[in-house]
Structure formats: C-alpha cells, structure tokens
Amino acid sequence: MRRAAAILLAALGLALAGAAHADDPANWSKPIRPYRVVGNIYYVGSEGLSAWLISSSEGHVLLDSGPSPAGAKLIEANIQALGFRLSDVKVLINTHAHFDHAGGLAQLKADTGARVWASRPDEPALKKGQHFGDNDNGLTPFAPVKVDKAFGDGQKLKLGETTLVAHLTPGHTIGCTTWTTQVVDRDRPLNVTFPCSASVAGNVLVGNKTYRNIVADYRATFATLKALPTDVMLPSHEEQGNLLAKRRKMLAGDVNAFVDPGEIVRYATASEAAFDKELARQQAARKP
C-alpha cells in the first residue's frame, strides 16, 4: 500500500502543477514525503502548505485541506503513505476559511466520510465557498462544504485519547481558529499549538465595511497567541515555522528539532509588528 501511495503522490505532483492558480507559490502544490512530528501528530501537507493528521485509537482528525480538490488528493496520498486509512479520518477541522486552507475540504469530506467542524464566524464562508471581509486580493472562491458542527471559543474536540481545544483568534479571517493539544513524546509531555495565520494578507484594515472590528480582533489575537503555553508550534504555512529546516534537523538526529518554547511569542510579535506597519501605511493612504 505504501508503494502504491508513493507512486500516486508522484503522479499528483504533475496534476497539482496544472491545478494551481497562476499566482500561487510553486511549493503550495509540490509534494513532500509525510512524516511524524511529535507524539501522534503527522505532517501530511505539501511542501509549502501545512496539513496535520492527529491520530487516535478511535480515528483521526485532519487539520486543513490544501487549496483545491487536487490539493486534497495530495493530502490523501500522504495519509495513505503513512499507513493510515482514509476511512479512519473522522473529523475535518480548519484554521480559517481561505481557499488555500479550505479549498479541499469538500473533496476530503466526500472521500473520507468525515464530519466537518468549523468556528461559527467562519461557517458562512465555508458554506458559501468565499471568504468574508474586504480584501485587496478579491473573493478567491473555493468549493463550498457543508459544516456538520459549528462551535465557539473554547470548544473541545475529543477522539479516543486525543483532545484538541479551539481558540478563536480572528483577524486574518473573522473566524480564524488556533488549535491546541497535548502529546507525549519520548516520555515527555508537550504542549502543541497550531496557530491560525496572523498576517494581513491583503485585508483592508481601514474602512473595512464588512468586517468593522478587524483591527481590534487582530490586537486581541496577538495577545492570545503570546499567552498560549506552547512547546511545539505547527503553523499553516511552512515559512511561518521554518518547517523544512526543522525536518532536516530531525533527519540528522535532532529529536528536539520541533521543540521551541519561545517560538510562538516570536511569531506573534513579528506578526504584530508587520500588522502595525501595514495599518500605518493604510492609514496614511486614507488621509486627504
């Protein structure tokens, strides 16, 4: 089965290249060999876009979907290459309702039979297949998906011995969700955080007519992220956590390659600085 999945993954590399948007980074559709990160957490995304499988004795949770049906197929091939069955994926969760992280949810739901969980603020966007809020990049539509369970801040997702907690960290989208869990790796407990993106990414910060609280939401999110106890930060984009470099260290024998208790504070601080700069730019551009 693993050999067949590897062959499928290689073939998908060619298909994905043609399915990507013209201006998408090339590494968003570049296949990469899946791997275990810490505890029961596995990387199953492309080189540039994360997708995380969290396994349990009663089935598995998959976080994020890639940008399209083809991106979802890459994730499915990676799951199978690790020896897991697609039918054992029971819940699909999402960091936020942008096409690059939600565009493959409908395909994954159809292929696995899993239930889709989403934050209440992002649920309408997922059901419509279009993000909410004024953005300079336009609507960037994606395949709509039925949400089986909508939740608020603090929702717990329990499956077998695994518990994930949802923390609403809006701004990037109105329903952006950061997920946390605890694992045991090499007989040590680790707090793991999957932060939702905190970049501006084209969002209108001054005069956003459809998302009036966007600036206040960003401010609250930076504070929330800095306060989350985190030993391992696993973001939704490779460059946000230097995942490739960490993987190379792991392959070279560094068992602590992904362990960095200070990383999430640095991530939030850098994101906040970039936000402040962009907010000042937009404010200056609005002055008569």
CA dist 118 and 152 (Å) reads 9
Q: What is the pLDDT of residues 134-158, one digit of tens each?
A: 999 888 899 999 999 999 999 999 9
What are the backbone angles phi and psi of residue 228, rounded to the nearest 5°? -80, 125
The conformation of residue 15, written as its DSSP 8-state character, comes to H
Q: Which tokens is 273 given?
A: 């600085």
The whole-number pLDDT of residue 22 equals 55
pLDDT in tens for each of the 288 residues of the chain? Answer: 444 444 343 333 333 333 445 577 898 889 999 999 999 999 999 999 999 999 999 999 999 999 999 999 999 999 999 999 999 999 999 999 999 999 999 999 999 999 999 999 999 999 999 988 899 988 889 999 999 999 999 999 999 999 999 999 999 999 999 999 999 999 999 999 999 999 999 999 999 999 999 999 999 999 999 999 999 999 999 999 999 999 999 999 999 999 999 999 999 999 999 999 999 999 999 877
CA distance 130 to 184: 38
The structural domains of the chain, ordered by start, are 2-286 (3.60.15.10)
pTM recorded for the entire structure: 0.91
pLDDT value of position 21: 58
Q: How far apart are CA 223 and CA 272, in angstroms?
A: 9
